[in-house]
Amino acid sequence: MSYTIDEVMKYIEDEDAKFIRLAFRDAFGVQKNISVRPGEVMKAFENGARINASDIAGFEDCPYPALYLKPDPSTLAVLPWRPDTGKVLRMFCDVRTPDGSEYASDTRVILKKASEKAKEAGIEFRFGSETEFYLFLKDEEGRPTKIPYDSAGYLDVAPLDRCENVRREISLTIERMGLTPERSYHERGPGQNEIDFHYARPLKAADQMTTFRMAASTVADRYGLICDFSPQPLPDHPGNGYHINIYASDRDGEDVVKYAAAGILNRIRDITLFLNPTDASYSRLGSPAVPDRVNWSATDESELLYVETYSGRTRAELRSPDASGNPYLIYSLLMMAGLEGIRQKAVLPEQAGESGAPLPSSRKEAGEIACRSEFVKAYVPEGIIRKYING
């Protein structure tokens, strides 16, 4: 459900909400928040809620001592793991400067601008996600371990699949927060799981991914477990992918996914730093069933891009990203690369297989390529580029 400011204020009063979390994200997509009491919410809508800019990753170059969080009322959600009496609510916020303008390094703002460019071009993008994660045990002191919660494998069922109830609880929790998971199952690694989401418009899809990661980690913690989205948690087992399904149509409703896919292939090396931002990301690339080359296929789902037409609708599944990336920045760059391909009516190359150009093999190499890319510089603020390169 999408709320207005008046509806939010009425909901707070009717439901006796006591705390409202104003959530935003740093340059890497890590969720941050401050909590305010009901009497401060209207002030936040009108003038923003103050935060210290210099302590946020990617905001260090901010010329202002403070920035301000402006809540988006349409993103109101109840945190269902908090008490029913005195509810705790959450709204995503855009980051504003003291004069009320959008802060250029806020990646939610970057995504909004990219979406506006697509709209001006008459193109509608939608993104779906397939996200993998491990569930690990904690030790007697409550510290995380690398001991998987079970030893099950791909699509196994209980009792071998001990993660089933946790996935069920995660799915029910995010449904209560307004998200609709499409499917869930045990993945190939011990203790490894996947939950997929139906496609949505870019901003909703990015908000959805941020909510999902927070909710999954919270539910796992309540089971005494650790939810690990990192690219390669166990060296000898499958890594965690964040596969992105891409749909695109023009103002006449015509499918333009193949043009967009060709544009993404043309720019994939430039933007890999943001799809795979950690050193561990490059340990995952090139492992079994994970791409390490710029290629595509209509028959092999393990290539970088899998392009499928089913029931008259085409989707492109990008398989290189991992969940350490920032979905707001990732979707922005994919849209801009896709728009470039659509404008040029770019044609997918021959299905290259093992002969495709290599993806960057390290974060250092990916950073060097991003630094040279005029495409990246056109859409990513310099401070964020520098933060991704330096860590």
Phi and psi torsions of 107, nearest 5°: -70, -20
pLDDT of residue 353: 64
Beta bridge partners of 228: 134
Query: What is the rounded distance in angstroms from the CA atom of residue 11 to the CA atom of residue 4?
Result: 10
Q: Give residue-wise pLDDT tens across range 230-257.
A: 999 999 999 999 999 999 999 999 999 9
Query: What is the rounded distance in angstroms from the CA atom of residue 118 to the CA atom of residue 303?
Result: 27
pLDDT of residue 75: 96
Query: What is the rounded distance in angstroms from the CA atom of residue 252 to the CA atom of residue 242?
Result: 30
Which residues of the chain have a pLDDT value below 70?
1, 352-354
Length of the chain: 391
**Which amino acid type is present at position 111?**
L
pTM: 0.96
Query: What is the rounded distance in angstroms from the CA atom of residue 124 to the CA atom of residue 347?
Result: 19
Phi and psi torsions of 48, nearest 5°: 90, 155
Nearest by Cα to 242 from 196, 201, 207, 283? 196
Domains of the chain: 5-103 (3.10.20.70), 113-390 (3.30.590.10)
pLDDT of residue 300: 86
Long-range contacts of 378-382 (CB under 8 A, 24+ apart): 378/336, 379/110, 379/114, 379/332, 379/333, 379/336, 380/110, 380/274, 380/329, 380/333, 381/104, 381/105, 381/110
Query: What is the rounded distance in angstroms from the CA atom of residue 356 to the CA atom of residue 294?
Result: 5
**Which amino acid type is present at position 295?**
N
